[in-house]
Chains A and B, each alone.
Chain A
């Protein structure tokens, strides 16, 4: 059974703080993703990674960075948190391969920036 875990279910941070969201998958997947989900806007891709130390910008990378030092771990970093980054953050992973494989999601982190 594929498992994607996220370090926190709920997080409250202050404006200007540096925030780390951690994601770990246990199935040796090459691809990992960070999304944010907001009412009315749906899921939007922030960053993704095809391999260790590789990263690609998604649709809304501004204000975020990522780190992938090990295959199983993908971290999302908010360098200086702002109130408009209050959201649900979802991590996902998927094996390489064009069509064959499902994408699996973690339980989400509800981040509130005050």
Chain B
């Protein structure tokens, strides 16, 4: 069964820094991997979706990569801003999860002015 892990659980950086959030998964037969942002007390907002045939996707200051062979995905945030402070979750869909998303527990990011 697919398992998704995000390390670290929390990260604090100064404004302007480039940073990388990590996500690892156990089932390499992955259909896609999706990154979400969650603000406190709110729902999840989809940031990027990477299909299994792709290696990366970009949206503005965000870049997500996928390496199926190593079971890893990264979310790169360039020039971080205080407004980027939130919890970031990754989730993978694979045959082993009945095609449903399996979520990591998230990385709580704090960007300090």
Q: Are A99 and B34 in contact (CB under 8 A)?
A: no
Q: Are A110 and B101 in contact (CB under 8 A)?
A: no
Q: Are A42 and B42 in contact (CB under 8 A)?
A: no
Q: Take A42-B103, A58-B100 as given contacts and tell me if A108 and B43 are in contact as well, using a CB distance cutoff of 8 Å.
A: yes
Interface residue? A107 (CB, 8 A)? yes
Q: Are A42 and B100 in contact (CB under 8 A)?
A: no
Docked CA distance A43–B89 (Å): 10
Interface residue? B49 (CB, 8 A)? yes
Interface residue? B68 (CB, 8 A)? no
Chain B 82-113, CB within 8 Å of chain A: the 1/0 string? Answer: 00000001010100001111011110000000
Q: Are A103 and B46 in contact (CB under 8 A)?
A: yes
Q: Is the interface of B mostly helix, strand, loop or mixed?
A: strand
Residue of A nearest to B45 (CB): A105
Docked CA distance A45–B44 (Å): 14
Docked CA distance A75–B91 (Å): 24
Interface residue? A90 (CB, 8 A)? yes
Q: Are A48 and B100 in contact (CB under 8 A)?
A: yes
A98 CB to nearest B CB, Å: 5
Q: Are A42 and B43 in contact (CB under 8 A)?
A: no
Q: Are B103 and A103 in contact (CB under 8 A)?
A: no
What are 7 A-B residue pairs whose CB atoms fall within 8 Å in the complex? A4-B43, A40-B105, A98-B99, A99-B32, A99-B53, A103-B34, A108-B41
What 10 A-B pairs have minimum CB-CB distances, sorted nearest first? Answer: A105-B44, A99-B31, A42-B105, A105-B43, A43-B103, A107-B43, A108-B43, A99-B32, A102-B49, A99-B51
